[in-house]
Amino acid sequence: MPAKGQMEELELLRLSLAGDLEAWGEIVTRYKRAVFGIALGVLGNVADAEDATQDAFIRAYKNLRRYDLTRRFSTWIFTIVSNICKNRLRRARFSTRLEDESQVPGGADPAIAAVEEERGRLIKEALNEVSPKYRAALVLRYYNDLDYKEIGQILGLPEGTVKTHLHRGKAELRRILEKKGVKGYE
């Protein structure tokens, strides 16, 4: 049997279904960056994003028997994390809470600031100010490199709406960056 690192995705999912947790661990390794990227982009907060990522992999495992093979696994796991983020944002609207300053993107923690490139920090900060409903589409398009169709499947939106969200989201982002005096793009 090949090492889990070299196994095909389908084989790993089959083993996971049979209760092999180690195989599921390999799936987590393969998708964690992409899933975390979505969560961080949408939630804008590292601790929440980390939580949402963990939650997404736990929920996906619990519901693995419902995973529809005609869809790509990535689409499915991205749908799960997007829904988790959407629910968290909805809940957050009703509960104002104080955030740990060091967890806020671009916040005061010098160690974190040092490892971040300036542009990354600025974009993330600006993204946090974009209307939440446009954030997911922006992240799926520009971080996960997905096409409109797949973004639509993940967010449960028609392709036309995805385009509108992207267009409006980008316009907002540009305005925010301009307001911060950021330049360096056409």
Partner 1 sequence: MNEPKFDDYLREGLRQGVEGQLHHLEGLEERVLEKLAERALRRGRWSKLWRPFLIPVARRPALALATTAAVFLIIGLFLGMGLGGPSLGGGKGVWFVVAYPEAQSVTVAGDFNSWTDTPLKRGKDGIWTVRLDLKPGRYEYSFKINGEKWVPDPRADEYVKTYGEQLNSVIYV
- Chain residues binding partner 1 by CB under 8 A are 8, 10-11, 13-14, 17-18, 21-22, 24-25, 28-29, 32-33, 36-37, 40-41, 46, 49-50, 53-54, 57-58, 61, 65-70, 105, 112, 115-117, 119-124, 127, 138-139, 142-143, 145, 170, 173-174, 184-186
Closer Cβ to partner 1, 15 or 157, answer by number: 15
Shortest approach of partner 1 to residue 94 CB, angstroms?
A: 26
| Cβ proximity of 39 and 31 under 8 Å | no
| Cβ proximity of 156 and 94 under 8 Å | no
User: What single string gives the DSSP state of each residue in 125-184?
Assistant: HHHTTS-HHHHHHHHHHHTS---HHHHHHHHT--HHHHHHHHHHHHHHHHHHHHHTT---
Closer Cβ to partner 1, 94 or 185, answer by number: 185
Closer Cβ to partner 1, 58 or 160, answer by number: 58
Closer Cβ to partner 1, 142 or 163, answer by number: 142
Shortest approach of partner 1 to residue 139 CB, angstroms?
A: 7
Write out the two tokens for 118.
């300036």
Burial of 60 per CB tally in 10 Å (0-12, 13-18, 19+): buried
Shortest approach of partner 1 to residue 53 CB, angstroms?
A: 7
Residues 6 or more apart whose Cβ sits within 8 Å of residue 173? 123, 126, 127, 130, 138
Closer Cβ to partner 1, 25 or 132, answer by number: 25
Shortest approach of partner 1 to residue 163 CB, angstroms?
A: 14
Shortest approach of partner 1 to residue 10 CB, angstroms?
A: 6
Cβ of 150: how many Cβ atoms within 10 Å? 21
